[in-house]
Amino acid sequence: MGDASWLFAAITGVTAVGASWTTGRLSARSARHTAELDAGERRGEHTRQARRTAYMEFIACVHTMGTLHGSAMSLFRGTTHPEWHTALSGIHEELRENYHRRFLPALDIVCLEGPDDVAEAALAVVPASTTVFGLVEDILRGAGDPQDLPAGCARLWDAVRTFTGAARRALNA
């Protein structure tokens, strides 16, 4: 009987050690897996936040352009005042400043952050914005018609709407 007790105790001890070792291994594997998932979620959230910030800056630059375009168009509503040329020159300079200091860097960041469809939509805003800028320059030189500004601005906002839709889809994916 004494030998059976010793054998039973040995088997119980080995089983306990084996169970403890298995539990430890599974706990470590589970912790590692959880940590990897958490890191992936943090990376994903960081990427989403970086994109959101880039998209917001880009849209803010476009809205600044839109405000300036609206100011330019308002110069030609109703009676045209003799000082329109000076006012339009100031608007032209502000557009140039916004374009080079804010818009182009924001565009570069949007293209860097991606994804590709958002970058393509952002790049499509460029020709629409430069068309309106060119119209303002033409009006200042006496070669353009102020009545062309609303149509140019409408094309710009169409491109911006396309960008906004692509950005929204990217952020919600």
| pLDDT at 74 exceeding the cut of 60 | yes
**Tokens read off for 66:** 């839109």
| pLDDT at 35 exceeding the cut of 70 | no
Q: What is the pLDDT of residues 119-173, one digit of tens each?
A: 999 999 999 999 999 999 999 999 999 999 999 999 999 999 999 999 999 999 8
Cα dihedral 138→144→148→154 (10° resolution): -10
Distance CA 122, CA 129 (A): 11
Q: What is the distance of C-alpha 119 from the center of its chain?
A: 9
